[in-house]
Structure 1
């Protein structure tokens, strides 16, 4: 049996039916990740490029036999299947899938940096991550998700009663 790696993924959507986009992305991810838990849906303000609709954000965790590079490739394929187009950095998108943490791996490559390089400053990631895995450790800082969350503002983040 292939080695199973624990991974934490962030998903976001702000174009089209955000709830449906996240549901479809999770269905596709199930083919490559045995998803164990999914956070609540949080509605958040955009970051970076502000002139765009609000996002729905979730975090999930599970197990995969894929390498980090293979998982990234799968995530980008799913984004494209669901209509993501190349656009401006932090621009609007039907779905975005980021690998937050892959085991205890610290990895830096052109388009694959683990753990996610901006995870520690993004409440829209840390709030749902802390909900499902408050004690998961960021391999780079050695801090738990709960500890990282205490260092950021959670203004503009609203938990939504939305079923995926």
Structure 2
């Protein structure tokens, strides 16, 4: 405490989480930016940083438009389950319809990392189970947190990038 009785350092509440953002229908770049705006408007979420936006080759179903992908770094006081509900509400409000696995989508929001928590539930898996296999996730995540450690593997994001076998194309988007 200082001489006036004020704390010298305020306690910071919440956990740092990383959210994957992707779209390949309609206007993908604008939809990713809108999703970031929606994330930052949630009371229990503070948007800390966002990666560059990337144009990415589809994985799985190749016969579809390329994606725009990014990663947002947030601080949240929500539980992983509550954060998932918020992400699904944002997707629904933006018009997401769940059809084909790895198929086209208006918006996709995924919890990639939630602090160092490991969650293995039927409909919620953290870290994201495909995170370490996907160039379109690791490049923007590495831009924000190359030092972060994957809680299940004990390897940094940079280390996962070095081991990556996915050679799909990921191109930074220059926009103003």
Q: TM-score, normalised by structure 1?
A: 0.95
Give the conservation status (yes or no) of the 8 Å contact 1:138–1:144. Answer: yes
Aligned equivalents of 2:168, 2:89: Cα separation in 1: 32
Q: Which runs of 5+ in 2 are unaligned?
A: 1-10
Equivalent position of 1:128 in the other structure? 140
Shift of 1:19: 1.3
Quick one: which of 103, 107, 113 aligns to 2:125?
113
Give the conservation status (yes or no) of the 8 Å contact 1:137–1:144. Answer: yes
Give the structure with higher Rg (CA): 2
Quick one: which of 15, 19, 37 aligns to 1:9?
19
Shift of 1:49: 1.3
Secondary structure at the counterpart of residue 70 of structure 1: helix
Aligned equivalents of 2:146, 2:172: Cα separation in 1: 17
Alignment length (residue pairs): 163
Query: Which of structure 1's runs of 4+ aligned residues deviate more than 6 A?
Result: none
Q: Superposition RMSD on alpha carbons, in Å?
A: 1.4
Quick one: which of 72, 76, 79 aligns to 1:67?
79
Q: Report whether the alignment pairs 1:142 with 2:154.
A: yes
Give the conservation status (yes or no) of the 8 Å contact 1:44–1:156. Answer: yes
Q: Which runs of 5+ in 1 are unaligned?
A: none
Deviations 1:52-92 (A, max 9, x none): 10000001111011100000000011011111112111110
